[in-house]
Amino acid sequence: MSIRLRLALWYTAVLGGTLVIFSLLLYLLMLRHLIDEGDANIASRAQHIASTVRVETAAPSTVQRVELPPIDAFESPGIYVQVVQTNGTVVAHSDNLGGQELPGDERAFAVAHAGHGVFYTAIVAGEQVRVYVEPLVASGRVIGFVQVGRSHAEAYVVLDRLRLGLAGVGMVSLLLAGAIAWAVAGGALRPIASMTQTARAIALSRGFSRRLGVTTSRDELGQLSRTFNEMLASLEEAYATQQRFIADASHELRTPLTAVRANLELLDRQGADLPGSERQALITAATGEADRMARLVADLLSLARADAGQKLRMRPIELDRLLLEVYGDARLLAKGLTMAIREIDEASLLGDPDRLKQLILILVDNAIRYTPAGGEVGLSLRKDGATAVLEVSDTGIGISAQDMPHVFERFFRADRARARDAAGTGLGLAIAKWIIEEHGGDITVESELGKGSTFAVRLPLMSH
Kindly list the residues in this chain that would bind ligand ADP in the complex (CB under 6 A): 362, 366-367, 370, 394, 396-399, 407, 412-414, 424-430, 453
Instruction: Provide the minimum distance between the beta carbon of 302 and ligand ADP in the complex, in angstroms, as a whole number.
Output: 12
CB nearer to ligand ADP: pick between 107 and 406: 406
Pairing of strands 376-384, 338-344: parallel
Q: Which residues of 160-169 are buried (b: 16+ CB within 10 A; e: fewer)?
A: eebeeebeee
CB nearer to ligand ADP: pick between 93 and 292: 292
Q: d(Cα 355, Cα 317) in Å, to the nearest integer? A: 12
Are 112 and 142 a contacting pair, CB within 8 Å? Answer: yes
CB nearer to ligand ADP: pick between 318 and 403: 403
Q: Which helix (H) or strand (E) holds 23?
A: helix 3-52
Instruction: Name residues whose C-beta falls within 8 Å of residue 444's C-beta, 6 or more positions apart in sequence.
Output: 455, 456, 458
Instruction: Provide the minimum distance between the beta carbon of 280 and ligand ADP in the complex, in angstroms, as a whole number.
Output: 27
CB nearer to ligand ADP: pick between 177 and 359: 359
Instruction: Provide the minimum distance between the beta carbon of 206 and ligand ADP in the complex, in angstroms, as a whole number.
Output: 29
Instruction: Provide the minimum distance between the beta carbon of 335 and ligand ADP in the complex, in angstroms, as a whole number.
Output: 17
Q: What are phi and psi of 457, to 5 degrees?
A: -105, 130
According to DSSP, residue 76 is labeled: B
CB nearer to ligand ADP: pick between 104 and 441: 441
Residue from 316, 341, 337, 314 nearest 327 by CA:
341
Instruction: Name residues whose C-beta falls within 8 Å of residue 108's C-beta, 6 or more positions apart in sequence.
Output: 118, 119, 120, 131, 133
CB nearer to ligand ADP: pick between 46 and 379: 379
Instruction: Provide the minimum distance between the beta carbon of 257 and ligand ADP in the complex, in angstroms, as a whole number.
Output: 18
Instruction: Provide the minimum distance between the beta carbon of 423 and ligand ADP in the complex, in angstroms, as a whole number.
Output: 7
Q: d(Cα 31, Cα 118) in Å, to the nearest integer? A: 20
